[in-house]
Amino acid sequence: MKRFTLIAILTVLVAGGAISKALAQQPDSIKVLEYYSLFSEYHKNKDYASAVPYGWKVIEIAPVKFSKWIFYKMEDCLWYLHDSSNISVDDKKAINDTILYFYDLALKYRPEDKAYFQVRKAFVAETWLNMNPDEVIKMYEQAFEWDKDLSSYWYNRLGQLYVANASDNNDYKLKAIDLYNMLSEREPDNTTWVEILESLVENIDELVQITRKNWEANKDDLSRAWKYASTAIRAKDYNEAIIPLEFLVQKSPETINYWNQLATAYQKTDQLTKAEAAFKKLIQLEPDKKEHYLNLGIVYKDEGKFAAARTQFQIASEKGNGWALPIYYEGFLYEQAARSCSDFDAKVVFLLAQQTYRKALSMDPSLEMARERINALAGAVPTKEDYFFRKLKSGDTIPITCVGWIGKSVTVP
C-alpha cells in the first residue's frame, strides 16, 4: 500500500496540489461533481488515502445532495485506513481527531440512517478513542432508542459495558439483565445470552425476583410484565409466570403469545379448567390453527373428558390436512379407556387403540411413538384362540360396548 498523509483532511485543498487551478476556479456546483467523480474512482480502486481528501470536499460543499453515498463510502475509507498496518501515528491521530465530527455530519445529513451511524459512532468512541464508558453507553443507548432492531452484536457491546462498569452507584447491572433477557427472547436458540444472563445473578430464581420487582415498580409497563413472565417460564416456575401473564392477557387480550404461554402455565400447574378456557380463547383468535385444537384435546384428556378430547383431536387432524399426531392421541384415549374394561372386552378396545395407532403411522411413517405403542400392545389384543372360542372369523365385526362414549366396532383381522 502506498504511503499516505491524512493531515490534509483538515485543510482546504489548494490549487497546484490535488486539485488543479482550473477546477478551483469553477463554481462549487461544478467542482463538487468532479470531486465526487474522483472520490468514487479512488474508492472503487481501493485507493482510500487518495479518496479521503475528495470525500471531505464533497461533504463540505454538498452533503445533502450526495448523502446517500458519500457517508457510507467515506466510512469505508476511514475505517480501512485506521486499521491499516502502514498508517503512521500522526495519520491515525488525524482520523481519530475527526471521526466523531464525521459521524455528527452523517447524523445531520443522513437522518434516515441515524441509528446505523450512531451505533458506529459509539463503537469508535469505545474502541478507537477509549472514551469514558458512561459517555459511550449513552451513545449506544441512543442508537437503540432510534432502532430496536439493530444487530445483537451491538447490543452485546452495550451489555458488556454495563457489566464491566456496574456498581452500587448506577443501575447498569439491572440494565444488563434486561438487555440479555431481551436477547434471549429474541434469539431463543442462542445459549450465549442465557449463559451471560445467569452469570449476572446467583441463580435463575434470583433473576425471576429481580424482574418481578422491576415490573412491580411500574405495573402498567407491558414489556416489564413480559420480561417477568418469560424469565419465570425459563425458570420453569409456572405459578410465578401466571401472575404477569394474567395481567398481560387482560391488558392485551388479542395477543396470541400471551394466551399460549398462559394456557401452558395453567396446564403445567394442573389448573385444567383455566387451561381449557385459555385454549378456547385461542381457538376464537385463531380458528384455523391446528395446534390449539390438539392442545384443548390434551386438556380434555387430562380432565378425563375422553369423548370431548376425541372430538378436538379429530378437528386438529382435519385442520392439519391429515395431521397424524392427533390421531395418535386418539389411539391413546382408547388405550386409556380399555383399562376400565375386563377380559375380552378390554382386548377389543386395545385392538381399536392399536388399529388407530396404525392409522396414524400410515399418515406419518416418521411417527415413531405410534410404532412403539403398536408393538407395546401386541400382547394385549385378542389372540386367535380368543376368536376361535367365540366363533369369530376374519372379517367379522365386534361392537365395543364396555365404554359407551367410544361408539365404534373393530373388525377381526
Render pLDDT for 40-58 as a digit per residue (tens, 0 to 9).
999 999 999 999 999 999 9
d(CA 305, CA 326): 16
- Segments of the chain with pLDDT less than 50: 1-4, 7-25
Beta bridge partners of 410: 398
Enter the DSSP assignment of 168.
T
Q: Helix H segments across 28-151? A: 28-44, 48-61, 67-82, 89-109, 114-127, 133-146
Q: Residue 205's pLDDT is what?
A: 87
Nearest to residue 338, comparing CAs of 355, 319, 317, 361? Answer: 355
Q: Which three cell numbers stand for residue 337?
A: 379407556
Per the CB < 8 A criterion, the answer to whether 224 and 213 are in contact is no
Burial degree of 68 (CB within 10 A; 0-12, 13-18, 19+): exposed
- Residue 184's contacts (CB-CB under 8 Å, 6 or more residues apart) are 190, 193, 194, 197, 234
Q: What was the pLDDT predicted at 27?
A: 53
Query: What pLDDT is stored for residue 26 in this prediction?
Result: 53
373 and 357 Cβ atoms separated by less than 8 Å: yes
- Contact of 225 with 243, CB cutoff 8 Å: no
User: CATH topology for 288-413?
Assistant: 1.25.40
What is the per-residue pLDDT for 10? Answer: 43
pLDDT digits (tens, 9 = 90+) for 252-292: 999 999 999 999 999 999 999 999 999 999 999 999 999 99
Compute the mean pLDDT over every residue in the chain, rounded to the nearest whole number: 91
